[in-house]
Amino acid sequence: MKKFLACTIIAFLLVNCKKAVKEDTQQRGVITKSAMVVSAREEASKIGTDILKKGGNAFDAMVATELALAVSFPFAGNIGGGGFMVYRKANGELGSIDYREKAPLSASKDMFLDESGNVIPNKSTLGAMAIGVPGTVAGVFAVHEKLGSLPIETILEPVIALAYKGVVVTKKQEERIQYYQSYFNKVNKDSIVFNKPWKENDTIKYPALARTLERLLTHGKDGFYKGEVARVLAKFIQENGGIITEEDFAKYEVKWRNPIVFEYDDLKIISMAPPSSGGVCLAQIMKMIEPFDLHEFGHNTLKTIQVITEAERRAYADRSYYLGDPDFIKIPLDTLLSHTYVTKRMRDFEENKATRSSDVSHGNIQIIESDETTHYSIIDQFGNAISATTTLNGAYGSKLYCSELGFFLNNEMDDFSSKPGVPNMFGVTGGEANSIAPEKRMLSSMTPTIVEKNGKLLMSVGTPGGSTIITSVLQTILNVHEFNMSMQEAVNAPRFHHQWLPDEIRMEPNLFNATTIKNLQNLGYSINEKDSPVIGKVDGILVLKDKSLEGGADYRGDDTAVGF
Ligand code: DON
């Protein structure tokens, strides 16, 4: 017994020493004591933090950050798009809001097909037909009304001031603007502010956007969805060949939804419900991998990559068949998330060879276009946390820019399944569940997520990346939980992705061990290191043991953590 006790003590010390050494050598991100905002641009993180400093809560800061991203990060930040936000209040109350775009009233199932029933190239991605009815302005006003604490003027004023003053161009932004010139020219009849050869350190001012935002000061969300702005915007879209009307704007409404909540080891994960596939897919994958000892297997080793890949393959196959807008279709959520079902899904997993996606189901394969969205995480000084992901879908959305109002419009219609089995720009296929219908919301992969441990807030995390969003969020959580990484290390670590179809593991190039890749290939896995130079741009906040906050801001973008 004594011997047993001694052994136990030694084992305990060894484990904890190992952990302590690990923690000492961890490379940490920005650490603050009370509150933090992490987003794609320093300007937006600062404006959000300033709102917190003024005594505002995470929800006030969410409104400010979301709109500041619309000004400072036009690549993806928006008032012409939509998003999702998951929250956990300091008292443990959970919730989420869906401000996803909707298909216009005159949308139809076959609107992107030609007479022979084939998908018309680019129609759902470029120009006015690609636009879904935007939800962002309705989203921030709903959040403010239900959960905010500061007057809306206090929140909007710094954002409007930023739009008038202008935003400094970063190197990455310079490259992006250059890259998309031909698209801007193709889609827009007149030249737009981004047609100039903007260089790093130039300042771009956005007076038209500032004036549009000023309308919200006086008219609230109706300043966007009714009256002058709705009239100008509907006319502009129609003149450019689109079908959105003033009625579409007037009818837009957000949805408060119950988040998807599930357990993984001693963690409670809170994520977005349909019409985002994020929460369901994340839950399925995590439930499928839970029985395996990933900690023992090691980070990005053959076994870990294999187990995660096989779970992802099965979850994405389900995503494609079962998921869509819950207001239009019946989703068998209870079954999809049940222990019995996910266990059954993994039953045919074999350690010594890759499962073939064609044996799980079938579909076509297409090359993936580059893409953008943006995520931000906020924890306030009161202990409230939010996790929000917002998007125009592709980079600069439909590329159609309304100069009079000062913003880009989304190309979210491409997230519908234009034709069953034909992949969209992220290479994901869909079926009837995600077919187009008037006023329906298109299926998303956005996965704003909050994690609790032992009943306490642990993390707020999320990312852009189209279909790779879910798997990037997954890996970030696992990096912290299974592999003892700091928040910043978890964000920095190389990422991989499998989405059922195409049947390949995409990896960030030159970051994975060559022998591991060889061994995966020997098991029958196809590895693609070409098409995804970057997988996700994760931003997150981790609550440390002493209750201070660590930001993980992704080096893959201009992302920045700011706080106090
Ligand atoms: O909702 C979705 O899943 C997509 N519209 C997200 C697009 C995206 O993440 C592009 N960014 N990298």
In the chain, what percentage of residues exceed pLDDT 70?
A: 94
Separation of CA 197 and ligand 1 centre (Å): 27
Cβ burial, residue 17 (10 Å; 0-12/13-18/19+): exposed
Task: Return the closest-CA partner of residue 308 out of 288, 280, 336, 338.
Answer: 288
Q: Please indicate whether residue 445, judged by its CB atom, sits closer than 6 Å to ligand 1.
A: yes
What is the model's pLDDT at position 156?
A: 98
3-state secondary structure 259-291: CEEEEECCEEEEECCCCECHHHHHHHHHHHHCC
CA-based nearest residue to 262, from 249, 250, 271: 271
Q: Is the CB of 466 under 6 A from ligand 1?
A: yes
3-state helix, strand, coil in the chain (%, to 5): 40, 15, 45
426 has a pLDDT exceeding 90: no
DSSP E strand boundaries for 48-164:
82-88, 94-99
Question: Which of 281, 325, 426 has the most ligand 1 atoms within 8 A of CB, as the residue to mutate?
Answer: 426
- Residue 365: per-residue pLDDT: 29
pLDDT digits (tens, 9 = 90+) for 473-524: 999 999 999 999 999 999 999 999 999 989 999 999 999 999 999 999 999 9
CA pair distance 220, 417, nearest whole angstrom: 34
Q: Which of 282, 393, 413, 539 to mutate to test the pocket of ligand 1 (most atoms within 8 A of CB)?
A: 393
Indicate which residue of 309, 355, 373, 391 is catalytic: 373
- Where would I find the H helices in 290-387? 294-297, 302-322, 333-336, 339-345, 357-360
Q: Is the CB of 371 under 6 A from ligand 1?
A: yes
Confidence category of residue 361, pLDDT binned at 50, 70, 90: low
What are the pLDDT digits (tens) for 3-15? 333 333 334 333 3
Atom of ligand 1 nearest to the CA of 414: 5
- 414 close to ligand 1 (CB < 6 Angstrom): no
Q: Give the closest residue (by CA) to ligand 1 atom 8.
A: 466
Nearest CA to ligand 1 atom 1: 444
Look up residue 68 and give its two tokens.
């500041």
Distance between Cα 446 and ligand 1 center (Å)? 6
Pocket test for ligand 1, best of 371, 409, 467 (most atoms within 8 A of CB): 371
Has 389 been annotated as catalytic?
no
Mean predicted confidence (pLDDT) in 465-476: 97
Q: Which atom of ligand 1 is nearest to the CA of 445?
A: 3
Helix axes 136-147, 152-165, angle to 10 degrees: 140
Tell me the pLDDT tens digit for each residue of 72-123.
999 999 999 999 999 999 999 999 999 999 999 999 999 999 999 999 999 9
Mean pLDDT confidence for 366-372: 48
